[in-house]
A and B are shown apart, each in its own frame.
Chain A
Amino acid sequence: MTPTFASLRNLLGTVAKSYVTVVIVALLVSASLAPIVWGSTSNPDGTVAVIEVDSTLTESSAERITDDLQEARQNDSISAVVLDVDSPGGGVSVSEGLYLAVERTAEQMPVVTSVDSTAASGGYYMIAPSDEIYVKPGSIVGSIGVRATYFDVPPTDEQITTGPDKNTGGTETEYKAQVEMMRQAFVGTVIEHRGDELTLSETELAYAKVYTGTKSVENGLADDIGDTEVAIGTAADMAGLKDYDTIEMESEPLSGTSLIIGSENGDRPEASTVHPQTYGRYGAVNTPTFLALWGSVDNERVIDATELERPVANETGGDRP
């Protein structure tokens, strides 16, 4: 061993043993671990999922919403849901299905609704289980009722049927009874979920009127004036989140559900055009239809209750069990 090599080794030994070296190495190690620790201590407490409902309620649009709600329930990072609603309703059974999905979600986590323009008929049915409903002063809320289209097409000489009601499905009287039963379920749902807040009686609800946002806060169909930001804040607060992320849940038309974080401009399918079956149009075949809808449908064969001679129609709203 040469003297030069020996002195170099002594120097390295001294450096290795010095406190400066220890501190430098410790800083390097800390720098690599710090982000992990930072992430674990400063990350949001949870996530508020915003589900947009901005179309009429058909089987296809409802499938996306129920998928989103299911995702919210199954994703451990999601602690609360905000429904951003602008819908005049749609099919009765579709509305009932959405109601059940929202109710199922509300049993598991806070669900807060923000009504944009309209939450009428089936659009209200589905939000009835919400923990809080926010409206804008000019929002339209209500239309708690059902309507049906009905075809009075008795068997003719040109066809053979196996029963007198094969074509129509029943008599006009029976259709009226069916509509009445759907009305009872709808009104009962609203009473169940909003009964403590409502100043409207069951009979007053059954008129199926729509109310402005301001009026709906007074009569208990809604809780307060607010927008989606307020709804998100309330949902987070109810979930106990001091610090939280917001995600907007969305899905591509007729495809699986996906989460698009921070995106607000995803194209949505025009549900009413992709699922005419909700309105009784099965290709070349038209069927009687039960609707929880506020508004008219193009070419809809509707008779109001005063003119039940040929066809009929109905509407529904929402509640909380």
Chain B
Amino acid sequence: MNVRSRLVVFATVVLVTVASVGAAGLVTNHGMTAQPTVDQQQFQPSAIDAPTVDRNGTIAYDDDGESKTIVIDVAHSNDVSEEALEPVVSALTAGGHTVQYHEASDEFDSDPAADLNETLRGADALIVVEPETRYTAEEAAGVSAFADAGGRVLFAAGPDSGGLGGLLGLLGGTQPTGDEFAAVTSPVGIAYDTGYLYNMEEYENNFQSIYATPSTDSGLTDGVDRVVFDGPTPVVTDGQTLLTTLEGTEHSETRETGAYSVLARSGNAIAVGDPGFMSSTNYNRADNDVLIGNILEFLVTGEKVPGVPEETSAERDTGMKAESAESSPPQLPST
């Protein structure tokens, strides 16, 4: 065998071996990787029910043609931002009514009750949102007298007012705040619960964005099909329940299921369990605008007796002191 024939044998063996391996790879499909896919039905957009928020409507209301004065209390560390009441303030102002803010006096010897009473004497309606300091008995008596005399009152507060707010108030070193809202709502027959309401079965876009429907025929619920509240707190009254949540609503603390009252009226005072429904971001959801219009109509159509709350003897004394102080040289407060 010569060298040439040996080379031929060598090349043939190499060729056959490599070709065989290549053919085997093709036959066994080695090296092919399946294309991964995501076919899970629950992940497909068609399986997801994207929540929608129905927004439309404007606040409209009727009045008796008189310009009324509506006082908004901001003297009790009220947790009320400009946007929280902007739609209300705008609608009242556009209707020719006067909105007045009652602020705490920064004078050293001021009497908060006397200041509030003085404000209320010139007012037709009062709005109190989320107070974080407690009304004194004298202040509460003034508000109660105001309502008894035909002044219209709107209380609005969420879950924090009675429970957590008290704790935070203590931690923050402010005045004691436990049950602070009850101090002023209880004398007019209204009480706020603690905790918030939610509904795991029927809600708008979050389990706390729940619906409430009229529970009785009333001017305050006229035209209202359903309104949306965000985690409202229940409101109880000795008067009339106006709006209740849907059956199946649960209480965050008791976990009891039911239809809870979230808008109630007692005499000339009404109370709502979520101040946020009036805010600029929520006022036109569902029928919130209709409800707000009804509430504004309620506020501006009262017939309040002038001069109430009347001056107490203590206020008269304070007033005389103030007058005498004006006519005499400044004095250091006695200790």
A interface residues (Cβ-Cβ under 8 A, vs B): 96, 100, 103-104, 171-173, 176-177, 179-181, 184-185, 188-189, 191-192, 203, 206-207, 305-306, 308, 319, 321
Contacts and interface: CB of A to CB of B under 8 A. Distances in A.
A201 B158 CA distance: 30
Contacts of B158: 306
A161 to B, nearest CB: 19
Interface stretch (B44-52, B107-115, B303-311): B44-52
B208 A305 contact: yes
B209 A176 contact: yes
Interface string B36-73: 10111111000111111100000000000000000000
30 contacts: A96-B43, A103-B40, A171-B281, A172-B281, A173-B53, A173-B205, A173-B281, A176-B51, A176-B205, A177-B50, A177-B52, A177-B53, A180-B51, A181-B48, A184-B47, A185-B43, A185-B47, A189-B43, A191-B42, A192-B40, A206-B200, A206-B207, A305-B207, A305-B208, A305-B231, A306-B196, A306-B230, A308-B230, A319-B42, A321-B42
Nearest to B282: A173
Contact of A321 (B40, B50, B205, B231): B40
Contact of B205 (A103, A180, A191): A180
A310 to B, nearest CB: 12
B53 A185 contact: no
Nearest to A100: B38
B164 to A, nearest CB: 9
A181 B200 contact: no
B41 A192 contact: yes
B224 to A, nearest CB: 21
B42 A185 contact: yes
B105 interface: no
A203 B51 contact: no
Nearest to A186: B42
A194 to B, nearest CB: 12
Contacts of B281: 171-173
Interface in B186-208: 196, 198, 200-201, 205-208
B41 A184 contact: no
Contacts of A104: 36
B293 interface: no
B159 A177 contact: no
A306 B165 CA distance: 13
A181 B201 contact: no
Contacts of B208: 305-306
A192 B42 CA distance: 8
Nearest to B33: A74
Contact of A180 (B39, B200, B201, B206): B206
Nearest to B43: A185
Best-surrounded residue of B42, B49, B51, B252 (most CB of chain A within 10 A): B42
A177 B159 CA distance: 23
A321 B39 contact: yes
B200 A207 contact: yes
Of listed B43, B52, B206, residue having the most chain A CB within 10 A: B206
B206 A176 contact: yes
B193 to A, nearest CB: 14
Contacts of A319: 42
Main secondary structure, interface of A, reads: helix
Nearest to A308: B230
Interface residues of B, number: 29
A229 B281 CA distance: 56
Contacts of B51: 176-177, 180-181
B200 A305 contact: no
Contacts of B198: 305
Most buried by A among B158, B205, B231: B205
Nearest to A319: B42
B40 A100 contact: yes
A172 B204 CA distance: 13
Contacts of B230: 306, 308
Interface in B4-62: 36, 38-43, 47-53
A143 to B, nearest CB: 15
Contacts of A180: 51, 205-206
CB-based closest 10 A-B pairs: A188-B42, A321-B40, A306-B231, A176-B206, A177-B51, A305-B208, A176-B205, A177-B205, A203-B200, A181-B48
A189 B40 contact: yes
Given A306-B231, A321-B42, 20 more contacts: A103-B40, A173-B281, A180-B51, A180-B205, A181-B48, A181-B50, A181-B51, A185-B43, A188-B42, A189-B43, A191-B42, A203-B201, A206-B200, A206-B207, A207-B200, A305-B198, A305-B207, A305-B208, A306-B230, A321-B40
Nearest to B40: A321
Contacts of A189: 40, 42-43
Contacts of B201: 203
Contacts of A321: 39-42
Contacts of B196: 306
B166 to A, nearest CB: 16
Contacts of A181: 48-51
B80 to A, nearest CB: 12
A204 to B, nearest CB: 8
B13 to A, nearest CB: 27
B165 to A, nearest CB: 12
Given A185-B48, A203-B201, A308-B230, A179 B206 contact: yes
Nearest to A305: B208
Nearest to A97: B38
A173 B230 CA distance: 11
Interface string B159-195: 1000000000000000000000000000000000000
Interface string B113-128: 0000000000000000
A262 to B, nearest CB: 30
Contacts of B206: 176, 179-180, 305, 308
